[in-house]
């Protein structure tokens, strides 16, 4: 038996050798597999429609609310693979969200009555639109439980802003954008007094409780909501629900439906019929029809009242100015969905079997003619349902939401009780097809299906119950998002996707090619403000300063060391650590934590983050990189030393290692051999058109950055060797090799990438 030498530079040569990876077939045939796995021909067809092979991309990217997880779920269609959970209302440590100072400021924007709210009940995501088309720039999502709205930038998939609704106590019906994202619409849910922290008894429900709808002004240049230019409309206490904005001919108007327009107050514990009886007793609720463009002008003209410092257009004004109307709608509808051409609105009442198609032209005609059947108890004009309807179509039990196809007049509606999706024609009012889903579908989604330009192809059914669909994982089941092929006359079920975290309420999907996210930041970026970070330093500028009991570190992260490797403090010091990731290659994220101090940062290439904590306990606390960033990631470590006050060192030298001249010479040889490999890789890379591959350019930049760090080290180790200080001679030579290894690693990755992506020889 031979004990092999453990490390030689020549091993790197093996990277190009070794056994070739197999590209050959398995010995089992397709027929064998189908028989063994009991797959039908239809299963195989479905598999072929959803499977995305390695290295290929999904056609659409879906953004789903995470329900009570307070997050957004990003997944690919048709593979239904989840690509990311984005932290929004709930702290999430992997992303450092709520654990670094930058993201803490975003979350602090969501404080209510001065207190942290550490979760959210997210409901409706909306992608920013330009002329009614998804533009892929921003994503908005609401929190029903604690009425708030968040802005996510789709350049980096990070939450940038949270705003608190100043007058609501809950809101189900956000976010919906107007056709050019002028406003983001957010409707109240359970009526309550609009004044904050003001109690009125339930006996004064009709007089003092109110609903409403808020129009958040979006400043696209800043990428933030402008709270001061936002406003709300006071509405009756009708439990407003979902909204939709008009588009095309109906642009400038918005539509909000409602339930419990009975204004019923329950009290089962006191012997009263519960809410479910009283809120469902009547045949219809009210669709609110609002001219938001004129509302904005009225607010600008000073016609709003300030409530909690926020502009609220009162019902009285809205009625007088002719911008607010009601239309009876089927009982307890779950959605109002404007057709792609903006000419119709579809509403389905869950306790009815029909969808109702309203004509925007008819609504406008009735308003113009002043033709109203009545006024509601608050004096709002009510347009007769028959004067607004285009048609009604019987679809099945528990119709909820409607989405649109790329084919004209084709719509899809979810049927909750029937557990089906109905495909139907809203122009002609006829049913075209139905498909069973598993089970109890809430929302549904087609590709860009609520924009002016739906893409057809796929539909996702957001089923609330999955019962027997998946391997059991305890009493709390996943939801089931089912992918359905809608490109043919008959719908075909393709895939069951369990939702592992959260109870998604609604999803939107965009063509993948409309998204242009970045893969790294400009060096020194505060990713939450998109501005240069004052804590940024470049390599060699790292510094630790102390002012009184405040210790501030400006450090850097690069494969595979943290600078500094020691932070010294006294008990009680306030520690601020700024860290900049110096990498440029994709994926080279570093993480950072200090043992037991409850801080964590995710530092993607170019990002600068700040961590703050009080060193309130004496002791020795390791810190380390929390991302498996390179072969040496475990060695990417350091120590926070928290000394008792007034501690004085007695021993001032570190223990020496034992190193020999022979070891030094072996290390030097290894360095020389490795450089030859690097030279050969560099020769290959520069022999092809690598500059045409931005990913490769980033890797090459990082590689030369690493190699650049070897400058002066040869002289250094040789000087130590001359003094026969074999430890320092060895370790500085070894450090050259560490830089070389990372240079070679990057170089080999770049080489592989170029070979696999058709790089061409250049002169």
Report 728-757 residues binding a second copy (CB under 8 A).
728, 730-732, 734-735, 738, 745, 748-749, 752-753
Query: Of the ranges 127-135, 281-289, 292-300, 368-376, which one interacts with a second copy (CB under 8 A)?
Result: 281-289
Determine which helix (DSSP H) or strand (DSSP E) holds 118, and give its type and residue range: none
**Which residues, 394 to 453, sit near a second copy by CB under 8 A?**
394, 396-398, 416-420, 422, 431, 433-436, 438-440, 442
Going by C-beta distance under 8 Å and a sequence separation of 6 or more, which residues neighbour residue 416?
Answer: 350, 397, 398, 399, 400, 440, 441, 442
Query: Looking at beta carbons only, is 229 or 436 nearer to a second copy?
Result: 436
236 binds a second copy (CB under 8 A): no
- Sequence-ordered list of residues with C-beta below 8 angstroms from that of 32, at least 6 positions apart, any chain: none
Interatomic CA distance for residues 366 and 448, integer angstroms = 31
- β-sheet bridge partners, residue 430: 425
Helices (H), 26-160: 30-37, 41-50, 101-108
- The footprint of a second copy on residues 300-329 (CB under 8 A) is none
- 493 near a second copy, judged by CB under 8 A: yes
Within positions 651 to 680, which residues make up the interface with a second copy, using CB under 8 A?
Answer: 651-655, 657, 659, 663, 667
**What residues contact 700, with CB distance under 8 A and at least 6 apart?**
685, 690, 746, 747, 750
* Least CB distance to a second copy at residue 461 (A): 11
466 is an interface residue for a second copy by CB under 8 A? yes
Q: Which of residues 198-227 bind a second copy (CB under 8 A)?
A: 198-206, 209
Reduced to 3 states (helix: H, G, I; strand: E, B; else coil), residue 335 is strand
Q: Which two tokens stand for residue 639?
A: 């120590």
Of residues 455, 448, 239, the one with CA closest to residue 334: 239
d(CA 629, CA 587): 8
Binding to a second copy by CB under 8 A, coded x per residue (else -) over 173-192, reads ----------------xx-x
Do 289 and 255 form a contact (C-beta atoms < 8 A)? yes
> Among positive and negative, which fits the CA dihedral 523, 525, 530, 531?
negative
478 binds a second copy (CB under 8 A): yes
Partners of 523 in beta bridges:
none
Provide CB contacts within 8 A for 405, sequence distance 6+: 411, 412, 423, 446, 449, 454, 456, 486
Q: From CA 8, how far away is CA 15, in angstroms rounded?
A: 13
Shortest spacing between CB 643 and a second copy, in angstroms: 5
Q: Which is nearer to a second copy, 323 or 537 (CB)?
A: 537
Look up tokens 């122009």; give the residue: 427
Q: Work out which of 649, 672, 683, 722 binds a second copy, going by CB under 8 A.
A: 649
Binding residues among 118-147 for a second copy as defined by CB under 8 A: 118-121, 144-147
Instruction: Give the one residue of 364, 373, 382, 391 binding a second copy; rule: CB under 8 A.
Output: 391
Residue closer to a second copy, measured from CB, 247 or 554: 554
d(CA 702, CA 712): 19
- Residue from 300, 369, 467, 676 that binds a second copy (CB under 8 A)? 467
Q: Is 549 a binder of a second copy (CB under 8 A)?
A: no
**Contacting a second copy (CB under 8 A), which of 95, 128, 230, 232?**
95
* Shortest distance, position 504 Cβ to a second copy, whole Å: 10
Task: Tell the smallest beta-carbon distance from residue 457 to a second copy (Å).
Answer: 11
For residue 473, state whether it binds a second copy (rule: CB under 8 A): yes
| Shortest spacing between CB 368 and a second copy, in angstroms | 20
Q: How many residues bind a second copy (CB under 8 A)?
A: 274
Site for a second copy in 14-73 (CB under 8 A): 14-15, 18-28, 30, 33-34, 37-58, 61, 66-70, 73
Q: How far apart are CA 150 and CA 117, in angstroms?
A: 13
Q: How far apart are CA 137 and CA 514, in angstroms?
A: 9
Q: Contact between 92 and a second copy (CB under 8 A)? A: yes
């Amino acid at each position: 038996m031979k004990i092999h030498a453990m490390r030689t530079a020549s091993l790197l040569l093996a990277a190009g050798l070794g056994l070739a990876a197999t590209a050959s077939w398995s010995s089992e045939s397709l027929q064998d597999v189908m028989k063994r796995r009991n797959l039908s021909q239809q299963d195989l067809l479905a598999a072929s429609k959803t499977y995305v092979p390695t290295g290929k991309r999904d056609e659409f990217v879906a953004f789903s609310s995470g329900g009570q997880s307070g997050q957004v779920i990003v997944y690919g269609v048709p593979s239904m693979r989840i690509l990311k959970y984005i932290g929004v209302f709930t702290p999430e440590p992997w992303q450092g969200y709520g654990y670094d100072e930058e993201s803490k400021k975003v979350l602090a924007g969501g404080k209510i009555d001065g207190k942290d709210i550490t979760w959210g009940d997210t409901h409706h995501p909306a992608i920013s639109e330009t002329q009614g088309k998804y533009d892929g720039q921003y994503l908005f999502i609401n929190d029903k439980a604690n009425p708030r709205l968040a802005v996510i930038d789709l350049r980096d998939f990070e939450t940038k802003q949270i705003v608190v609704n100043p007058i609501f106590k809950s809101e189900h019906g956000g976010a919906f954008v107007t056709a050019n994202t002028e406003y983001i619409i957010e409707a109240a849910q359970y009526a309550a007094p609009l004044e904050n922290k003001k109690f009125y008894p339930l006996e004064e429900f009709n007089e003092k409780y109110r609903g409403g709808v808020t129009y958040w002004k979006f400043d696209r240049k800043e990428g933030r909501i402008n709270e001061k230019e936002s406003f709300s409309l006071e509405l009756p206490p009708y439990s407003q629900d979902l909204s939709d904005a008009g588009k095309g001919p109906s642009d400038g108007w918005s539509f909000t439906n409602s339930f419990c327009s009975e204004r019923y107050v329950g009290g089962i514990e006191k012997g009263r019929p519960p809410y479910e009886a009283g809120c469902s007793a009547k045949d219809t609720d009210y669709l609110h029809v609002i001219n938001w463009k004129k509302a904005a002008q009225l607010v600008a003209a000073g016609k709003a009242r300030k409530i909690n410092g926020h502009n609220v257009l009162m019902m009285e004004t809205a009625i007088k100015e002719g911008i607010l109307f009601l239309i009876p709608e089927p009982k307890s509808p779950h959605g109002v969905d404007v057709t792609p051409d903006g000419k119709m609105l579809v509403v389905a009442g869950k306790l009815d079997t029909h969808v109702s198609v309203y004509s925007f032209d008819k609504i406008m005609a009735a308003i113009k003619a002043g033709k109203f059947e009545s006024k509601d108890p608050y004096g709002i004009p009510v347009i007769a349902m028959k004067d607004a309807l285009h048609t009604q179509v019987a679809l099945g039990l528990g119709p909820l939401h409607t989405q649109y196809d790329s084919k004209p007049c084709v719509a899809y509606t979810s049927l909750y009780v029937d557990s089906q999706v109905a495909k139907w024609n809203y122009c002609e009012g006829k049913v075209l097809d139905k498909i069973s889903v598993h089970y109890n579908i809430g929302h549904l989604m087609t590709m860009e299906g609520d924009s002016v330009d739906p893409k057809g192809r796929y539909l996702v059914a957001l089923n609330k119950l999955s019962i027997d669909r998946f391997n059991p994982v305890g009493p709390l089941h996943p939801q089931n998002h089912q992918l359905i092929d809608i490109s043919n006359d008959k719908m075909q079920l393709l895939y069951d996707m369990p939702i592992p975290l959260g109870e998604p309420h609604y999803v939107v999907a965009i063509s993948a090619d409309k998204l242009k996210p970045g893969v790294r930041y400009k060096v020194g970026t505060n990713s939450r403000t998109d501005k240069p970070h004052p804590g940024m330093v470049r390599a060699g500028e790292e510094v630790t300063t102390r002012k009184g009991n405040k210790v501030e570190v400006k450090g850097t992260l690069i494969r595979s060391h943290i600078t500094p490797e020691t932070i010294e403090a006294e008990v009680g010091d306030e520690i601020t650590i700024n860290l900049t990731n110096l990498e440029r290659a994709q994926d080279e994220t570093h993480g950072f934590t200090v043992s037991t101090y409850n801080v964590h940062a995710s530092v993607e290439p170019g990002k600068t983050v700040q961590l703050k904590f009080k060193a309130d306990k004496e002791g020795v606390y390791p810190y380390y990189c929390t991302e498996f960033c390179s072969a040496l990631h475990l060695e990417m470590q350091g120590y926070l030393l928290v000394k008792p006050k007034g501690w004085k060192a007695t021993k001032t030298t570190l223990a020496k290692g034992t190193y020999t001249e022979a070891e030094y010479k072996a290390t030097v040889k290894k360095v020389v051999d490795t450089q030859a490999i690097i030279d050969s890789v560099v020769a290959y890379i520069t022999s092809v058109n690598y500059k045409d591959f931005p990913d490769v350019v980033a890797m090459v930049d990082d590689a030369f950055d690493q190699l650049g760090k070897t400058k002066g080290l040869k002289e250094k180790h040789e000087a130590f060797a001359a003094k026969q200080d074999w430890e320092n001679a060895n370790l500085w030579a070894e450090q050259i090799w560490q830089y070389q290894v990372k240079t070679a690693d990057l170089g080999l990755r770049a080489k592989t990438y170029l070979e696999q992506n058709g790089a061409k020889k250049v002169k």
